[in-house]
Structure 1
Amino acid sequence: MIELTGHSLTIDQMKRILIAEEKVSISENSMEEVYESRCAVEQIVADKETVYGINTGFGKFSDVIINQKDVENLQLNLIRSHACGVGDPFPEIVSRAMMVLRLNALIKGFSGVRGELVELLAELINKSIHPVIPQQGSLGASGDLAPLAHLALVLIGEGKVYDNSGKIIDSAAIFSEKEVQPITLQAKEGLALINGTQAMVAKGVVNYIEAEQLAFDSEWIAAMTMEGLEGIVDVFHPAIHEARGYPQQVDVAKRMQEWLEGSKLTTRQGEKRVQDAYSLRCIPQVHGASWQALDYVKEKLEIEMNAATDNPLIFEEGKVVISGGNFHGQPIAFAMDFLKIAVAELANISERRTERLVNPQLNELPAFLSPEPGLQSGAMIMQYAAASLVSENKTLAHPASVDSIPSSANQEDHVSMGMTASRHAGMMIQNARRVLAIECICALQAVEYQGVENVSPKLKKKWEKMRGFIPSITKDRVFSEDIEKVNQVLNPLHQNNSVLEKEICIK
């Protein structure tokens, strides 16, 4: 059970909530904050004060005063009208993340919602009732309005959810089955549910979990390639990396040494050649730079995961109510664009290593790792596929955060496109993992040609595990099936994998 406080949620806790579907609870102090904040809203309503989102319209309609008898309809109309997302739905894990993050934001006590609402959110999370939320339609500035509106629909007993088999059904059906009571939204609650960055951050958290594992996996796969190409291990000497000073670079070099310790396939400088190509020699520098970006992304995500991004926010027991712009997703838009670049480079350098494994002009292995060069093509077209994926990533890496388009009659005249950045980052991670899968298949074959008995003890275990999924290339076959198998093995979110177990193995 993870206790949510609104202030202390971490990526590691999110892994437990998302992967293991660990349940959540709300701290007593947070519930007190929720209660006090709600009292302030009810006092505003009773005193007939004019406050944005409580008794006014929204966006360009902010100057329209709403009659007190219409306050509930105002919130209901808001959710229905804003639920105009399009495209394929997010995976369930992203939907679950959105619910957790929205709950964590509301219990900070700045949003003025009732205890019943946050308790309902927690109940849905703990009963694994996940809304079906279309991926497209958010500008990432007035909050992720469209995606969060689809989440809010479920709280009022409308909209769609996933059942236990992953089938999409009406929320009313699952509510009846699991004895859940929908809620009638009161003053401010609809706005509080949809103002925020929780869609882009939820996708960003899932992206980070996948990208972090991708970065770890890229190291042992690169190490196996080093063995397949009899690479020079002097390049991982700690003195080189300490001389430059980047801790992430130092860490990558250290892990590479650990993966290759005891190998009889690697060489020293001058034994076979003086220097390797950059894709081998500069692994710590390139991978380390990607780790720097990942560290930045994690820092920003963990701040935003615990941020109040509603509007307006309520302070000092209702004495101060301020309309601001914490819903603007620019920090996460930048972080996701940075993540895209980091992931692109892990894939770029991996594809270049694959080229070195299959190109007979660059190694002493059979051409294209083919069992019968000429008659059988071997890994030739796998490298084509990798090249295609890294080229596609280069187009997706174009920053979404530098774009903006006005909305709401120019009231909302600068937007972040953070949701777009987050979605594109997710697409790039899928591409990059398949590029690594291709390098992995080629590296497995290369060390087999070189002599598996000479592989380092740590990599021998990896080789044996992967050979349980991917047989040796003894003749040409449909390699796309092999690529997908490795992709699934490397995917920390795949149903047969455990992120927590993989991390223990890594560390």
Structure 2
Amino acid sequence: EVVRAMILLRARSLAMGFSGVRTIVVEGLLELLNAGIAPVVPEHGSLGAGGDLAPLAHSALVLIGEGEAFAADGSRVPGAEALTAAGLEPLQLTAKEGLALINGTDGILGNLILSLSDLERLIRTAEIAAAMTVEALLGTDRAFAADLVALRPQPGQATSASNLRRLLADSPIVASHRVNDPRVQDAYSLRCAPQVIGAARDSLTHATTVADAELASAIDNPMVLPDGRVESCGNFHGAPLGVVCDLLAISAAQVGAIAERRTDRLLDASRSQGLPPFLADDPGVDSGLMIAQYTQAALVTECRRLAGPASTDSVPTSAMQEDHVSMAWSAARKLRTVVDNLTRIVAVEVTCAARALDLRKPLEPGPGTGAALASVRAHAEGPGPDRWLSPELAAVEELARSGELLEAVEGAIGALA
């Protein structure tokens, strides 16, 4: 999907008419996509300045009948063979066209846009997980009240708190301890969920603005201007994209970190408000969901490591002509890993919170969290003796990744913001 995005975005930039290429070059790129041909592109090779030179070059090789590609049937074949099988002819390039095909930020932008799409869904799923845990731990929704949140007018926080209120609305579990609860306040991992997830929402908004600007940009060097001038420029430098990729990785790592802390509380009998240790069927004999939290903790640790910025680094190249590079390709690649990890982290919290909600019976969750619980139970069994857990975690991960869990909840209470 990254390679296909890269080809589409390169065609987009060339079609703007500032690169000095023929229409047939743009059409050739689109023909690759329409034929289901995906060039084989190594993971490494771009510094995010001077364009994604090596990755885009591997894509362009197939256009001229060289390199390798994955054909429509998934087989890996020589580029010329892939073209022949699709009824396409290799393109003969003319002046400027080779450079124009490789001098862009399209690989970085493709990674960023795909990550934005995943995160837009995943952030709301993380709010569902947080609401399930708040409910299962007999937490309160009062900290999410609109008038309290309005005292700090951070947009993402307000949106996240609104979603949490809706997810917990009409919950018999929340109502069961609304009065005469001796606790003063919940732990940070519950009470501050909208602040942390909201910060990620604000990062997502900013990154979307940057991506939208890049989608409207002509990226090449040199540029061919309408008055006939051919001018060198720095539009290929990936700094704007690298910085927001790093920002999103930091934000996603924070969302994962606070999710893991909530999960830990669900499993700790000293803090879980009456739930059995590790949500086990036979505590002391069964380990329950203990090892699921181990997996989650390992993923959180990797996210923290990957949250270290790539865009602050620079290794001079090209005999010091390219003496400052963005490393945005590295930032985009590690962002994709962080997003994948966050999906699994959220899935573990949902799995644990679902079992905890089951253990609160006869009290029932609210309509929103109840829909999430029903979605999980359609794919994973409820509480019981220890069993092979990996398939259940994988099933819930797919619910989060595909958006099925989110769709189930929104089907019950309407679209979340």
- Whether TM exceeds 0.5 here: the answer is yes
- Paired residue for 1:402? 312
CA distance in 1 between counterparts of 2:391 and 2:137 reads: 25
Alignment-mate amino acid for residue 215 of structure 1:
I
- Paired residue for 2:264? 355
Instruction: Verify the 8 A CA contact 2:375 2:405 in the aligned structure 1.
Output: no
Question: Are 2:193 and 1:283 equivalent residues in the alignment?
Answer: yes
- Paired residue for 1:345? 254
CA distance in 2 between counterparts of 1:450 and 1:165 reads: 49
- Paired residue for 1:246? 154
- Paired residue for 1:483? 393
Alignment-mate amino acid for residue 330 of structure 1:
A
Question: Are 2:80 and 1:172 equivalent residues in the alignment?
Answer: yes
Number of residues paired by the alignment?
411
| Residues 411, 502 of structure 1: alpha-carbon distance in 2 compared, 3 angstrom cutoff | farther
- Paired residue for 2:166? 258
TM-superposed CA distance for 1:452, in Å, is 6.6
CA distance in 2 between counterparts of 1:501 and 1:451 reads: 21
- Paired residue for 1:463? 373
CA distance in 1 between counterparts of 2:296 and 2:78 reads: 41
Instruction: Verify the 8 A CA contact 1:221 1:439 in the aligned structure 2.
Output: yes
Instruction: Verify the 8 A CA contact 1:269 1:275 in the aligned structure 2.
Output: no
Structure 1, unmatched stretches of 5+, are 1-92
Alignment-mate amino acid for residue 391 of structure 2:
E
- Paired residue for 1:474? 384
Instruction: Verify the 8 A CA contact 2:372 2:408 in the aligned structure 1.
Output: no
Q: 1:191 aligns with which of 91, 94, 99?
A: 99
Q: Secondary structure at the match of 1:209?
A: helix
Q: 1:441 aligns with which of 346, 351, 363?
A: 351
Alignment-mate amino acid for residue 117 of structure 2:
I
TM-superposed CA distance for 1:171, in Å, is 2.5
Q: Which has the larger radius of gyration?
A: 1
CA distance in 1 between counterparts of 2:258 and 2:36 reads: 39
Deviations 1:32-78 (A, max 9, x none): xxxxxxxxxxxxxxxxxxxxxxxxxxxxxxxxxxxxxxxxxxxxxxx
CA distance in 2 between counterparts of 1:201 and 1:452 reads: 50
Structure 2, unmatched stretches of 5+, are none
Q: Secondary structure at the match of 1:169?
A: strand
| Residues 499, 184 of structure 1: alpha-carbon distance in 2 compared, 3 angstrom cutoff | farther
Please, what TM-score do these two structures have when normalized by structure 2?
0.94
TM-superposed CA distance for 1:108, in Å, is 0.9
Q: 1:201 aligns with which of 105, 109, 112?
A: 109
- Paired residue for 2:64? 156
Alignment-mate amino acid for residue 202 of structure 1:
G
Q: 1:307-386 residue pairs with structure 2 within 5 A? A: 307-318=217-228, 320-363=229-272, 364-386=274-296
| Residues 241, 472 of structure 1: alpha-carbon distance in 2 compared, 3 angstrom cutoff | same
Question: Are 2:332 and 1:422 equivalent residues in the alignment?
Answer: yes
Deviations 1:203-222 (A, max 9, x none): 11111111221111001111
Please, what TM-score do these two structures have when normalized by structure 1?
0.78
Instruction: Verify the 8 A CA contact 2:368 2:410 in the aligned structure 1.
Output: no
CA distance in 1 between counterparts of 2:281 and 2:408 reads: 36
Deviations 1:84-121 (A, max 9, x none): xxxxxxxxx11111111111111111000001111111
Question: Are 2:151 and 1:236 equivalent residues in the alignment?
Answer: no
Q: Secondary structure at the match of 2:151?
A: helix
Q: Secondary structure at the match of 2:47?
A: coil
- Paired residue for 1:3? none
Alignment-mate amino acid for residue 294 of structure 1:
L
* Deviation larger for 434-443 or 469-478: 469-478
Q: Secondary structure at the match of 1:491?
A: helix
Deviations 1:123-166 (A, max 9, x none): 22223222221111111111010100011111111222222343
Deviations 1:344-396 (A, max 9, x none): 01100000000110001101100100000011000112111111111111111
Instruction: Verify the 8 A CA contact 1:354 1:439 in the aligned structure 2.
Output: yes
Q: 1:17-28 residue pairs with structure 2 within 5 A? A: none
- Paired residue for 2:34? 126
TM-superposed CA distance for 1:503, in Å, is 8.5
Question: Are 2:327 and 1:411 equivalent residues in the alignment?
Answer: no
TM-superposed CA distance for 1:500, in Å, is 9.5
TM-superposed CA distance for 1:501, in Å, is 10
Q: 2:203 aligns with which of 289, 293, 300?
A: 293
Deviations 1:406-433 (A, max 9, x none): 1111111110000000011111111111
Instruction: Verify the 8 A CA contact 2:249 2:338 in the aligned structure 1.
Output: yes
Alignment-mate amino acid for residue 236 of structure 1:
F
Question: Are 2:299 and 1:389 equivalent residues in the alignment?
Answer: yes
Question: Are 2:351 and 1:450 equivalent residues in the alignment?
Answer: no
Question: Are 2:214 and 1:304 equivalent residues in the alignment?
Answer: yes
Alignment-mate amino acid for residue 327 of structure 1:
F
CA distance in 1 between counterparts of 2:393 and 2:75 reads: 27
TM-superposed CA distance for 1:480, in Å, is 2.5
Aligned identity (percent) is 41
CA distance in 1 between counterparts of 2:219 and 2:384 reads: 57
Instruction: Verify the 8 A CA contact 1:234 1:269 in the aligned structure 2.
Output: no
Consecutive aligned runs of 4 or more in structure 1 exceeding 3 Å deviation = 267-270, 497-507
